[in-house]
Structure 1
Amino acid sequence: MPDFTLRKTALFVEDIHHDGGPVADKPRRRAALAALVKNPFAGTYVDDLQSAMDDLKPLGLMMTDQLIDAMGGLEDIDGYGKAAMAGEAGELEHTALWHVPGGYAMRARLGEAKAIVPSSMKQGGPGTRIDVPLGHINAAYVRSHFDGMEVGLPDGPRSDELLFILAMSRGGRIHDRMGGLTVEEVQGEDGLR
């Protein structure tokens, strides 16, 4: 069993009241939780990485629960995304370990989420920032929810660490007006529409 020792977590919360237009009736909340963990595969090549995803599921669930608390509860959470970054001794493929645990955890807690969880991955060192993509939880074609949060930590990921991030949002972009599928039109059958 690989050792993904947790070094620290950091929470980012934004309440967006307006974006150059009138003040919204209800602010849009975006939040991200980042976790720095030891990368047990740093500096080596390991052929079978897939089984290690199961070892990260408890971290995904813990982060999801903390993020839901930061969002003020489950009500009206309708956007999500995830990201991962490997330090310089890691591989980009190590960041892919987060696909199942991060997505699984948010789907398990958010219920009937149908859409793919948008994801980004990269390598970088301390202070490197990453854009966490956000999309609607039930329909990938809802344009009002195409968004992202820039996240980074000044002290990580260190060379032998992985940075795992989950993000959630409530509501579309403030002042969205690009048309497309609206939230009210979502059928939620296939994750697309």
Structure 2
Amino acid sequence: MVDIKVRKFVTVVEEILHEGGPPVDVPPKRAAIAAVIENPFAGRFVEDIVGLMDDLKPLGLDMAGRLVDALGGDPKVVEGYGKGAIVGEAGEIEHGALWHVPGGYAMRELLGGAKAIVPSAKKVGTLGTKIDIPITHIDASYVRSHFDALEIGIADAPRRDEIVLVLVMTTGPRVHARVGGLAVADIKVGDGLR
């Protein structure tokens, strides 16, 4: 068991009024939370790293709760999500992959069993590295109106021996979504795809 050491949390909330078209009555929000943690595997190759996923689960739940709070406190308003990680240069991309289970399942649990896979991105980077976190609808990956991304980076992270873990949630589709495809009203909530 690894003691997860968090250096800081960063939370960002965007409220999109319009994208050049008419202002909308209910502006959608996109929010991200990032936790900067110490990488327990930095600077060395460790064969068996899987146990860290269980150690990260409480952090995932904490971050998901903080993110819902940043969006107003009601998990029912969340319609989209995504996750990602930036690993400092003394680590490896596989260390970022450890966030798949604790980050994704934390959001799904908090949101009442969302069905769609939580899209993800990961990379190795230095201080100030930015990452685009992909976003899809929480119950059906084929809902085009919710295909989106949120860019996030932290000026002083990740340090060489750190990982930046990120969760993203949105309260609706892109502000002027109009490219067709599966509509939210037509989701069949079965396999998480349609």
TM-score, normalized by the shorter chain, greater than 0.5 = yes
> Unaligned stretches of 5+ in structure 1?
none
SS in 1 for 2:107: helix
Check if 1:74 corresponds to 2:38.
Answer: no
Amino-acid identity (%):
57
For residues 40 and 165 of structure 2, what CA distance do their matches in structure 1 show? Answer: 14
For residues 155 and 144 of structure 1, what CA distance do their matches in structure 2 show? Answer: 34
Asked whether the equivalents of residues 83 and 118 of structure 2 are also in contact (C-alpha less than 8 Å), the reply is yes
For residues 103 and 5 of structure 1, what CA distance do their matches in structure 2 show? Answer: 20
Asked whether the equivalents of residues 130 and 150 of structure 1 are also in contact (C-alpha less than 8 Å), the reply is yes
What's the CA shift string for 1:139-189, capped at 9, x where partnerless?
000000000000000000000000000000011001111000000111110
Please list every run of at least 4 consecutive aligned residues from structure 1 whose deviation after the TM superposition is greater than 6 angstroms.
none
SS in 2 for 1:105: helix
Q: CA deviation at 1:4?
A: 2.5
What's the CA shift string for 1:103-156, capped at 9, x where partnerless?
110011001300000000001011010001110000000000000000000000
For residues 3 and 42 of structure 2, what CA distance do their matches in structure 1 show? Answer: 12
For residues 82 and 95 of structure 2, what CA distance do their matches in structure 1 show? Answer: 18
For residues 60 and 75 of structure 1, what CA distance do their matches in structure 2 show? Answer: 19
Q: CA deviation at 1:52?
A: 1.1
> Unaligned stretches of 5+ in structure 2?
none
Q: Which residue of 1 aligns with 2:25?
A: 25
How large is the RMSD of aligned CA atoms in angstroms? Answer: 0.7
Paired residues for 1:26-175 under 5 Å: 26-72=26-72, 73-175=74-176
For residues 75 and 15 of structure 1, what CA distance do their matches in structure 2 show? Answer: 17
TM-score by length of 2: 0.98
- Give the paired residue count: 193
SS in 1 for 2:23: coil
Amino acid at match of 1:2: V
SS in 2 for 1:55: helix
TM-score by length of 1: 0.98
Check if 1:11 corresponds to 2:11.
Answer: yes
Q: Which residue of 1 aligns with 2:187?
A: 186
For residues 24 and 178 of structure 2, what CA distance do their matches in structure 1 show? Answer: 14
Asked whether the equivalents of residues 90 and 161 of structure 2 are also in contact (C-alpha less than 8 Å), the reply is yes
Asked whether the equivalents of residues 11 and 33 of structure 2 are also in contact (C-alpha less than 8 Å), the reply is yes
Q: CA deviation at 1:51?
A: 1.3
For residues 152 and 61 of structure 1, what CA distance do their matches in structure 2 show? Answer: 21
Q: CA deviation at 1:25?
A: 1.2
